[in-house]
Structures are given as structure tokens and as C-alpha cells.
Amino acid sequence: MKLTIATIEEFKNIIYPEYLNLFPELERKSYHDIKKSIINEITTIFKIMVEKEMVGFMIINQLEDVSCIQLDYLGILPQYQKNGYGSETIKLLTTECQNMSIFIEIEKEKLGTSEEENKIRERRAKFYEKLGFQKMNFDMILNTVIFSTYLLDNSDRKSTDEEIARSILITYEKIIGKEKVLKNIRIEKTK
């Protein structure tokens, strides 16, 4: 298994259609916003490759002022799910990004619209916790969706939750613009 940086054309023609299928509309960013952040060198799109086959993708954002990256999206294509590729990808990312902590947002548990969705959220939280991610002391509200925040601390420089939250907001401002951030994103302490 290896991670390969995708070109903008690969993102547009191969990955973005899969992204639309894998993630709910409220959680997605527009193609235009992601493309702009790739061009501005904030975002990198990786293809997850097993031999010559793409089994999934990751969208990574480099956070400002901290030794941290944001794993914005991790998508394993449906036909390859339940084969351990998600876990392998996180382990590979950790190795590739030595001395960089990894920040993620996942939909907050127990707030889904159905019992099935709540079970998916719970499995997702356990998946990341099993890989060493620890819950941070703030949630992010993006549009109307509440996300729990987690950090896999892989850095010598220990950033505070406040530094990471501020860096996330700065990164989102660069991706979607300050006006959209002010309108659609809030941070709430949980502890």
C-alpha cells in the first residue's frame, strides 16, 4: 500500500465523484473550494493505492502555525471497505508525517437522525480511538453538524487545544473564506 499525490485532473474526474458518493451533502466542500485550496497549497489529495488499484483517497489540510495536519476526509471505496485499508492508511500517514500531529473531526456520537446513523458514528469514533486518536476538549459546529474533535499526537511540539482550534479556523478561512467561516463555523468547549 502507498499514498500517491493526485493531480487536479485526477481529483476532478476520479476522486471528486467518489467523494460525492461517500460523504453527506452537509459535510462536503464544493469542488471549487477544494481546488482553490489545492492551488493555494493548503490541501493535498492522496490516492490510496494497493498495487495499481486506487482503493480510496484522503484529503489533507496543512494547518497554520502548528505542527499539525488535518485529515479532512478519508474515503475507502465501497468495494474495498472492511479490508483494513482505513487502519493501514492512518498508520502509513503517521509514518509519512513524522513529527506532525493529525487532527480530525467526526460527527458527534448520539446526535444522528437514526439509530443506524448513531451506530455508524460510534463505530467511526472507536475506529479512530483504536488508532490512538484522543478526544479534544472542543467540538466544531460546521453548518448545522456538530463534530467531535480528535488528535493523534505525533509531534514533539505539543500544541494546545486552543492553538489547534485557532489554526483550524484560519485554515477554513483560507479554504472557504472568512465570511463563510463567520457564518457557518463555531467552536464550543466540551470540558
pLDDT tens digit string along 77-89? 999 999 999 999 9
For the chain, give every domain's residue range: 2-189
pLDDT of residue 15: 97
Candidates 28, 30, 90; CA nearest to 56 is 90
Q: What is the CATH number of domain 2-189?
A: 3.40.630.30
- Phi/psi at 70 (5° precision): -105, 120
pLDDT of residue 120: 86
Of the ranges 44-48, 76-80, 115-119, 173-177, which one carries the lowest mean pLDDT score? 173-177
pLDDT of residue 59: 96
Q: What is the pTM of this model?
A: 0.86
Look at residue 92 and tell me whether its pLDDT is greater than 70.
Answer: yes
Candidates 46, 63, 64; CA nearest to 55 is 46
Spatial distance between the Cα atoms of 136 and 29, rounded to a whole number of angstroms: 23
Those residues whose C-beta lies under 8 Å from the C-beta of residue 69, and which sit 6 or more positions away, are 60, 61, 62, 63, 97, 100, 101, 102, 103
Span 145-174, average pLDDT: 84
Q: Pull the grid cell for residue 4.
A: 500517491
pLDDT digits (tens, 9 = 90+) for 6-57: 999 999 999 999 999 998 887 788 999 899 899 988 899 999 999 999 999 9
